[in-house]
């Protein structure tokens, strides 16, 4: 029977301030992992750390700032004997058509969604290799969507980080490191509240995935027997949006 306990393991979760990252960090703490909560909003991280108890601690960091990322890696190595799990759940989305969207929006998404996770993975890979750890990228079901009009630059970053995850898997499997990508469909988060407001569509969270659903998928991937590796896990809401 699969054990759900992550006792004696240390997990780092980015984007832990809210949404899927927050739900994932909370679930990992309940599964007895020590959790490093990474995000930009210190107050939100500290609030979550208090909720999670002694197993969680806040590490404010801007994933687009190289200096902060290096400082984060240094702090983690000082504070923890090991890093077993790295969950990438931070990211941003900018809407806009290719013809008119500012290049700055493309750059911002690339920095947050691709470059930051790439650098943090590089910095922590020696620690993860040392314990045959696990890396999870929370991506997006947009990689399977046919019509990405108005979301092309965001979709491009998600395809890019998927390619990075696939290459990484080929490079680290021999060291016993597992790499999983989770692809959630529409999830009831503040991001979706904002996107629905922009598009003028009805926001119906009961017909969406919940952040806790995605967190459960992450935990499942982390706790499956070590003779197996979940490479890509796709989730979508059971119910379809009402028109």
Q: pLDDT digits over 96-144, tens only? A: 999 999 999 999 999 999 999 999 999 999 999 999 999 999 999 999 9
Model pTM greater than 0.85? yes
Q: Which of 239, 241, 193, 242 is nearest to 213 (CA)?
A: 239
Provide the pLDDT for residue 137: 98
DSSP structural state of residue 62 = -
Provide the pLDDT for residue 2: 55
Q: Check the CA dihedral 110-116-121-123 and report its sign.
A: positive
Which domain covers residue 178, as residue numbers? 10-235
Residue 240 belongs to some domain of the structure: no
Residue 34 belongs to some domain of the structure: yes
Q: 1 falls in which pLDDT band (50, 70, 90)? A: very low
3-class secondary-structure state, position 56: strand
Evaluate whether 53 touches 29 at the Cβ level (below 8 Å). Answer: yes
CA distance 58 to 73: 13
Residue 3 belongs to some domain of the structure: no
Residue 5 belongs to some domain of the structure: no
Q: 189 falls in which pLDDT band (50, 70, 90)? A: confident
Residue 132 belongs to some domain of the structure: yes
Give the CATH number, domain containing residue 47: 3.40.50.720
Residue 143 belongs to some domain of the structure: yes
Residue 83 belongs to some domain of the structure: yes
Residue 118 belongs to some domain of the structure: yes
DSSP structural state of residue 209 = B
Evaluate whether 242 touches 191 at the Cβ level (below 8 Å). Answer: no
For range 225-242, the mean pLDDT: 92
Number of folded domains that form the chain: 1
CA distance 22 to 54: 16
Burial of 138 (0-12, 13-18, 19+ CB in 10 A): buried
């Amino acid at each position: 029977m699969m054990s759900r306990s992550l006792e004696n393991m240390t997990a780092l979760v980015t984007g832990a301030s809210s949404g899927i990252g927050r739900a994932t960090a909370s679930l990992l703490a309940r599964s007895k992992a020590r959790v490093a909560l990474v995000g930009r909003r210190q107050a939100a991280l500290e609030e979550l750390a208090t909720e999670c108890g002694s197993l969680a601690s806040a590490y404010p960091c801007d994933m687009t700032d190289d200096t902060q990322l290096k400082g984060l890696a240094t702090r983690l190595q000082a504070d923890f004997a090991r890093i077993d799990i790295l969950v990438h759940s931070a990211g941003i989305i900018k809407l806009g058509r290719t013809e008119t969207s500012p290049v700055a929006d493309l750059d911002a998404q690339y920095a947050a969604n691709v470059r930051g996770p790439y650098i943090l993975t590089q910095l922590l890979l020696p620690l993860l290799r040392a314990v045959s750890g696990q890396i999870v990228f929370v991506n997006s079901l947009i990689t399977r969507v046919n019509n990405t009009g108005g979301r092309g630059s965001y979709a491009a970053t998600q395809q890019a980080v998927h390619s990075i995850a696939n290459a990484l898997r080929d490079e680290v499997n021999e060291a016993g490191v597992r790499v999983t990508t989770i692809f959630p469909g529409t999830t009831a988060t503040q991001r979706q509240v904002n996107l629905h407001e922009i598009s003028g569509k009805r926001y119906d969270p009961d017909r969406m995935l919940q952040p806790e659903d995605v967190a459960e998928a992450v935990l499942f991937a982390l706790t499956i027997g070590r003779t197996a590796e979940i490479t890509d896990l796709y989730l979508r809401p059971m119910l379809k949006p009402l028109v």
